[in-house]
Structure 1
Amino acid sequence: MKKSLFKNMLYKVILNSFNLILPILVGPYVNRVLGAESIGKVQFVESIYAYFLIFATFGVYQYGLREVSRIKDDKQKVSQLFTSLFTIGLITSLAALLCYAGVSYFGYGKESIFPILMIFGFNFIANIFMVEWVNEALENYDFITIKTVIVRIIYVILIFAMVNNSDNYYEYAMLLVLSTVLNNIVSFIYIKRKIKFDFSNMTILPHLKPLFVVVVFANGNVLFTLLDRLMLGQFNTPRAVSFYVIPQQIMGIINTLMLSIIQVTLPRLSYILGSNDEKSYHILLNNISKVYFSLLFPASAGIFVLSDVAVLIYGGQDFLGASTALSLFAFYMIVLGIDFILANQVIYVKKRENVLIKLVFLSGSINVLLKVGLLFMDKLTPATAVFTTGISTLILILLEYWYIKRYIKIEYKLFEWAKMKYLAYSLLFIPIAYVIRQFVSGPIPLFITIGITCSVIYGIILIVTKDIVVQIALEKVKGRFGRKQ
């Protein structure tokens, strides 16, 4: 039986709201205690580890989510697919661990980051038990929310207990790994109570090609933000990495909350298409885009006008130089959000991954060339890295939209007033923030005053114009949308 899409969104928003509040409480503490240099070492190791994690996960999450969503009414097929994908994940995780250990020892064995690399190696074992894709496909968002909240609370308690000075970055790395291990193990135990291993019709080879395709398109960050972090760590300093990652984390906190609106619709869109219901797919896609853009654009504008204040509050005086990068991440969040819709909600669910790979590779290659150019000109900084990545991602969404309009031909218009008007409304934040800064000073008073004023004015505009998003929200409050979708 299908679960309420509204309840799924509610649980996802609760979870991501918790994930929004938690870093705001913990991030400033960790950033101030460790400092830019120490935390930059951990973040650089994360960048190295992330490249190997791509091959460990091998696209199982995205592929498994889509495929289980299509067959979730058939328990036997779900068990067989789960067994096959779990086996593939086991093999790829162990292979990636061996390669990671070799590169870490021979490449960084004599450097100060080597112990951190070894600590992160335990994540590959944890990845074997990463089965959250099954929970998402079966829309178990209630369990995901409760479990994640409990694990993260444990993580926070240990952070305050064990990370007390700039030399505790080893402890910080261990706690990051521990939270991943706990999260994956609990999910695995929960899923195994519902789905048993079924080796009767296990298949490996038929899944390898589509999984490889997913690996390429789902990990476009290899040629984008992950590339930025790696190059900054390799050709600049750990401090430069932290000046990039701290703004990225601030953007990520907000972006995660925004994406919760559309992430929960991916299983439902896949299910609808599996039922050959194109009309319902078009309606849901367009409605969810409007709701998402009504939040994405004001959030991005808010980050832009509060970039210096946000960095000061989140990271402290030591990270104030990262404010320019954060203002550029505001632009990047917009193009990244649009890319998520076009790539995941349209091209991927329509099974056009092969084309998506080509588009990602093309725009990613442009980003690589731009970064090489910055190196030659000795202009590679956190700010220039974000800017070139944003331009490359903008090229990507233009290519994706061109392909959708020309070849997929669905009833979806991206650059129409019904969606872009939220950007126009949000641009009012710039003059509003400028005026407020003439009368208010201090990071926290500025943050609160600008945030509340812009939010209230934006809300008034939506109400006065009788925006469809407001109407949808009112209907949900009245209970009209509480029915099973």
Structure 2
Amino acid sequence: MSTKNKHSLGFNAIMNMVLTSSSVIFPLITVPYVSRTLNPAGMGAVSFAQSIVTYFSLVAMLGISTYGVRACAQVRDDERELAHVVQELLIILAVSTTIVFAIYLVALAVVPRFSEDRPLFLIFGIALWLASFGVEWFYQAIEQYGYIAIRSIAVKLIGLILMFILVQNVRDYRIYGAIVVFTGYGANILNMLRLHRLVRFRPWKELNIRRHFKPMRSFFVSSISSGMYAQAEMVLLGFLAPNNIVGIYQLVAKIKNMLVMAINSVVNVMLPRLSYYASNAHDKYRDLLIKNIGFVLLFASAGIAVATFNARSIIDILGGDQYQAAATPFLLILPALLFVSLNTVLSQYLISSGREEQYAIVNFIGLISSIIYCLILIPLYGAAGAALSCSLCELTALIIRCIYARDFLRRIIPHIQLWQAPVSAIIAGLLTVLVTKPWIPDNPILHILVTCLIFVCFYFGGLSLTRENITISITERIWQLLRIKRTH
């Protein structure tokens, strides 16, 4: 596939922001409806089943969701070799998914917690196959973010319509589970149908499957570890607490994930380009990572501040009266927004620089620490303990990643503005609360709109006064466009 067909990072970032926006907007529409319709117990049952299947899917994928991006990106200019890589990885996935699915069926028969609602778990079992053969890693590697965004939004729209038609009461939680599978993985069917137009498959005798086993080991361990520790609190909460408590926490986790996706919308499109720059342009590689960290600090600081003084309003809109107990867990999980996003950037560095073993070790330690935190805190504090476990786990992983990347961080930290965004966000948040507290409307939607508008003004002012680089760059760009328009 020729490089001339590749879009710029700016286009990819815009398309990924469109995709991310849809991943945020659609839950904003669906979550309030299904939360009230299914109540915490129904939502908890679906979330627990989804988390369990995610664990099995991580094993079936063997780390290819990450390894495949790098392996395909490195050979994307060689059509023949790219076809070999894609075909070899698909064969590996076919074998691994068959084995894992058989184990999954056995687990449904012997684990009491699973057999309580076997039909729901069987519905989610379909996701195992759809996840494995979605080849999302291939489309990311060749940077087809326009296609990814369009087909994902189309599937979400269909799922949205189905949800409002078919999910009418508490008993429809299994139907909702099926819709979750469709919206999450239905686009993968389109991926496979389209694949033959982009990749010309080769005879079996030309394939060399074994060459992937060694480099995949680190990605396998790291993907399983990172995926499992990202879901550990949900899974352990499902075993240690009833469905209604799981339902309370799943709302918190959903909001956190939406905010993380919004923050990482620009960061995530950088990995294929980072893998390319790591071998071909070291200066661009360093500059891109510095820019990533700047974006994370800018958006994560704002996200945490806004979510903090709007916590109860957000819970009220998305969950309603049944979920008011989610306010405290929500506040406890907010620090994870910054930790997760910084972990994403440092993970990109470790992967793109060929340090997969260290990447794997960090994720494995993160999984172990998550289990320890959860086993200590969940029995004591329930959903709040799960939220605190999430934040502590991400902080632990961040510290270890910083230790592994310390030599590189020493070189780039002088070029990163570390304090401007957090300090501006704290000051802007305090000023927003002081200004709005005497007269802020009780309506939660108005509360969020008014406080966000005032916060953005204070935050932008603080960033401008502290000469934050990204803010100054965007401001100068806007002024240039305005001057051009005036001259015409």
TM-score, normalized by length of structure 2? 0.92
User: Structure 1 CA distance, aligned partners of 2:366 and 2:127?
Assistant: 30
User: Structure 1 CA distance, aligned partners of 2:279 and 2:31?
Assistant: 42
Deviation readout 1:386-412 (Å, 9 max, x if unpaired): 213312321221121122124x57732
Residues 134 and 191 in structure 1, CA contact (< 8 A), matched pair in contact too:
no
Deviation readout 1:420-464 (Å, 9 max, x if unpaired): 321111112442353323322232221111111111211222334
Code of the residue aligned with 1:434 in structure 2: it is V
2:266 corresponds, among 261, 265, 268, to 261
User: Structure 2 CA distance, aligned partners of 1:472 and 1:96?
Assistant: 49
Code of the residue aligned with 1:89 in structure 2: it is L
RMSD: 2.0
| 1:462 alignment partner in structure 2 | 463
User: Structure 2 CA distance, aligned partners of 1:175 and 1:223?
Assistant: 23
| 1:224 alignment partner in structure 2 | 229
Name structure 2 gaps, 5 residues minimum: 482-488
User: Structure 2 CA distance, aligned partners of 1:176 and 1:148?
Assistant: 13
Instruction: Provide the identity percentage.
Output: 21
After TM superposition, the structure 1 stretch with the greater mean CA deviation from structure 2, 329-338 or 175-184, is: 175-184
| 1:387 alignment partner in structure 2 | 388
Note if 1:154 corresponds to 2:158.
Answer: yes
1:323 corresponds, among 306, 321, 327, to 327
| 1:432 alignment partner in structure 2 | 431
Report how far residue 369 of structure 1 moved.
Answer: 2.4
After TM superposition, the structure 1 stretch with the greater mean CA deviation from structure 2, 225-234 or 163-172, is: 225-234
Report how far residue 135 of structure 1 moved.
Answer: 0.8
After TM superposition, the structure 1 stretch with the greater mean CA deviation from structure 2, 309-318 or 102-111, is: 102-111
Code of the residue aligned with 1:355 in structure 2: it is Q
2:355 corresponds, among 321, 344, 352, to 352
| 1:453 alignment partner in structure 2 | 454
Report how far residue 220 of structure 1 moved.
Answer: 3.3
The size of the alignment, in residue pairs, is 473
| 2:421 alignment partner in structure 1 | 422
- Partner of 2:206, secondary structure, is coil
Residues 41 and 238 in structure 1, CA contact (< 8 A), matched pair in contact too:
yes
| 1:40 alignment partner in structure 2 | 44
| 1:314 alignment partner in structure 2 | 318
| 1:369 alignment partner in structure 2 | 372
User: Structure 2 CA distance, aligned partners of 1:258 and 1:67?
Assistant: 26
Residues 225 and 366 in structure 2, CA contact (< 8 A), matched pair in contact too:
no
- Partner of 1:418, secondary structure, is coil
User: Structure 2 CA distance, aligned partners of 1:191 and 1:223?
Assistant: 29
After TM superposition, the structure 1 stretch with the greater mean CA deviation from structure 2, 155-164 or 351-360, is: 351-360
Report how far residue 261 of structure 1 moved.
Answer: 0.8
Note if 1:241 corresponds to 2:246.
Answer: yes
User: Structure 2 CA distance, aligned partners of 1:125 and 1:373?
Assistant: 35
Name structure 1 gaps, 5 residues minimum: 480-485
Code of the residue aligned with 2:444 in structure 1: it is P
Report how far residue 380 of structure 1 moved.
Answer: 4.1
User: Structure 2 CA distance, aligned partners of 1:472 and 1:28?
Assistant: 38
- Partner of 2:171, secondary structure, is coil
Within 5 Å, which residues of 2 pair with 1:74-85?
74-85=78-89
Code of the residue aligned with 1:369 in structure 2: it is I
Residues 226 and 364 in structure 2, CA contact (< 8 A), matched pair in contact too:
no
| 1:93 alignment partner in structure 2 | 97
- Partner of 1:155, secondary structure, is helix
Report how far residue 191 of structure 1 moved.
Answer: 2.3
TM-score, normalized by length of structure 1? 0.92
Residues 97 and 121 in structure 1, CA contact (< 8 A), matched pair in contact too:
yes
Structure with the larger helix share:
2
Note if 1:197 corresponds to 2:198.
Answer: no
User: Structure 2 CA distance, aligned partners of 1:71 and 1:182?
Assistant: 28
Residues 305 and 327 in structure 1, CA contact (< 8 A), matched pair in contact too:
no
1:166 corresponds, among 167, 170, 173, to 170
